[in-house]
Amino acid sequence: MNFLLDEVARATLRLADAGIPSPRTDAEELAAFVHGVRRGELHQVADADFDALYWECVARRAAREPLQHITGHAYFRYLELQVGPGVFVPRPETEMVTERAIRTLRDMDVADPLAVDLGTGSGAIAISIAQEVPRSRVHAVEIDSRALEWARRNITGAGYQDRVTTHLADMREAVRELDGRVDLVISNPPYVPTRDAEDVQPEVRNYDPAPALWSGNDGLDAIRDLERIGRRLLRGGGVMIIEHGDGQGVDIPRLFPEDSGWRDVRNRKDLAHRDRFVEMRRVEQ
């Protein structure tokens, strides 16, 4: 057996013992990172090229430091994003939420679609929309200055600084110049209930920034704010898409009542058939 692959097998056992949910994948990703190859190319690394730094990275991951903080990057749709301390690491589940937003904008009869991403974090959603929706313009809002620096780095790195405008602001007051003009508002807001803090994985609880996680005792405080923000920003017929946590899909639709100008409020499921995000439309003016 290739020496590196033997070491990856040993690392897999160590990560499994540490409770890592995907030990083999993480062991391979770390090996690929340290040796400057893709996961599928690990067999090409010669025994003489084995780098002992690998075991330092494995030890960090076994201590529950996020894989993406160790490698410095995260993959999201067609993007490779820079991430690290101070920014929420984008999750695979958010990719399908973003997919829905992209399809919605493409289907609109609008020459230059206008979108707002509230709580942009790394910029993953905003950049993906700019990349995949021709002629779209995206305003990315973030309250955390450290996170916004990551977003700006990623926006510039992807070459979309002319299509994505960043705002360091509280989303409740942000981009008032766009009131009533926005085609789509999307958000992956904080939605973890503070009452569940002890049940949250260490990678999340100890490394993701608090403003991106906690949202009151029931986890819905930010989503209550988003209802008012969406009413302010969206044009008639505009769409809002909000990601949420497991078990919250039952409670959220009632926060967007018809008498407040919302229609077609519905939950959408992820690939595991769990409620993952809500979608709703503003009534035509």
Q: What residue numbers does the annotated binding site for substrate cover? A: 188-191
Strands in the chain per DSSP E: 73-76, 79-82, 114-118, 137-142, 164-168, 182-187, 234-243, 262-269, 275-282
- DSSP state at residue 217: T
The answer for residues whose C-beta is within 8 angstroms of residue 76's C-beta and 6 or more apart is 90, 94, 95, 122, 124, 128
- Return binding residues: 119-123, 142, 188-191
Measured between alpha carbons, how far is 166 from 150 in angstroms, rounded to an integer?
A: 11
Query: Exposed, middle or buried by CB within 10 Å (0-12, 13-18, 19+), for 201?
Result: middle
> For residues 117 and 139, is the Cβ–Cβ distance under 8 A?
yes
- Return binding residues for S-adenosyl-L-methionine: 119-123, 142, 188
